[in-house]
Amino acid sequence: GLDDAANKNYVENFIQSLIDTAQASNGDKMIDTVIVAGDGRYFNADAIQTICRVLAGNGVANIWIPKGGIMSTPAVSAAIRTRQGGAAQGGIVLTASHNPGGPGEDFGIKYNEGLGQPAGEEFTEALYERSLELKSFKTLENVEDFDLEAPVGSAFALTETST
């Protein structure tokens, strides 16, 4: 499960590996807009808070989260392609359909790329290789949790570059 010592910082390490891979796939330029959502499974709300801190710690300026953090995988794909003219460069989806873990293997993280499609084999292999090399992750510390139940359209500035 996610609670044992072997999985300490699993989410942070996975997201750091993912963001490093996404940056490398983007001509070494940090992606600036990412959707983060889940289907409401175990650990959804906590994982969203952690993921957003790692994204912001790496310089991702815009992190879009649906009310309650809940959105299906097909809806995330559609939002990547259509919200603000397709401004999102990817989406992190919390679901058990990929990388299952947690109690009853009911938690996992997957990444959809810029056209809303699931990350391809080249991306996932690069992410895995990066995860084997990773020695540290970047995150924000001493930042209060943001309200996942805030009204639609709410904005929270986690860093000075957040928009």
In a 3-state reduction of DSSP, which class is residue 103?
A: helix
C-alpha distances out from residue 160 to 56, 59, 140, 150, Å: 10, 10, 12, 21
Name the nearest CA neighbour of 39 among 108, 105, 89, 88. Answer: 108
Known active-site residue 136: no
Question: How far is it between the farthest Cα atoms of the chain?
Answer: 42
Tell me the sheet residues that pair with 60.
none
User: Contact at 8 Å (CB) between 159 and 140?
Assistant: yes
- What is the layout of strands, in order, in the sheet containing 90-94? 62-64, 33-38, 90-94, 109-112
Catalytic residue chosen out of the listed positions 25, 97, 131, 154: 97
Active site residues: 97
